[in-house]
Copies of this chain bind each other. A is one copy, B any other.
Amino acid sequence: MAIIVDNDTKLVVQGATGREGSFHTLRNRAYGTDVVAGVTPGKGGQDLEGIPIFDTVAEAVEETGANTSMVFVPARFAADAIYEDVDAGIETVICIAEGLPAHEMLRIFNYIKPRGITMLGPNCPGALSPGKANVGIIPAEIFREGRIGLVSRSGTLTYQIGHELTQLGLGNSTIVGIGGDPVVGSSFIDVLAKFEADEETEVVVLVGEIGGAEEEKAAEFIGSEMTKPVVGYIAGFSAPPGKTMGHAGAIISGTAGTAEGKKEALEAHGVRVGTTPTEAAQLAAEVAGAVRA
């Protein structure tokens, strides 16, 4: 199984012929991901080291059966690219591009949600199911197969935790970066629900950070909906109070968004929280051992 990306993933890359786009497209393919197509308007008919390039996603889907898209176009073209995916019948959109205007992403989110599309990002590192598929920019070589699900708002911090797990001999079912932008396609809860339903996942590590109320909501969800153990890590205990969005922000979330507050919320729902990535990995190892025992 694994979640979001796996052996059934048939990937089309939007912006596959750009500098970064082609590097990661080929890297994802080299990992074993079934990269079936690239899309660059005007380059239809060409190929990227054997990967056929199409002018439109609709053509790519029709010709190759692509079901997942990686969006690697500049931010100004990303909204168009995402709508193009939805229209072409793509089921999973992974948007690496960062810097989409928030109002555009707000419309996209509310458009795709009732249509059952799974989206990661914008501004996310993608998803990696070790041994199956890697879609995005996660350095796959530092992860190994296993039964720990990992979900994070932060790219490099995800790698750090994953790396620590690997050092302890643990592997992952899927590593998911949900993205750091104000409005992203999947919340912690969306991904936790998928891990809960995934047979291969035994333990979940949730990597949060200061700001917003997503971790607090996730804590509630874990308390009420999850049977699998969750271990947490929160970054930003020593961060200075960040810039706030005027006065309205804190009222909305009903939380100050501090690392301490998030830790407490998670612990109140039975989630053990590490204060360093190393400690979080060790907790995960303990919990995974207990699950096995």
Contact = CB atoms under 8 A, between A and B. Distances in A.
A114 B114 CA distance: 6
A87 to B, nearest CB: 13
Contacts of A115: 114
Interface in A110-140: 114-115
Contacts of A114: 114-115
A114 B115 CA distance: 7
A115 B113 CA distance: 11
Copies of this protein in the assembly total 2
Interface in A75-132: 114-115
Interface string A143-175: 000000000000000000000000000000000
A72 B33 CA distance: 57
A8 B49 CA distance: 63
A110 to B, nearest CB: 10
Nearest to A114: B114
A95 to B, nearest CB: 22
A86 to B, nearest CB: 12
Nearest to A116: B114
A164 to B, nearest CB: 42
A108 to B, nearest CB: 15
A115 B115 CA distance: 10
A115 B110 CA distance: 12
A164 B267 CA distance: 70
A175 to B, nearest CB: 31
User: Top 2 nearest A-B pairs by Cβ distance?
Assistant: A114-B114, A114-B115
2 contacts: A114-B114, A114-B115
Interface of A: 114-115
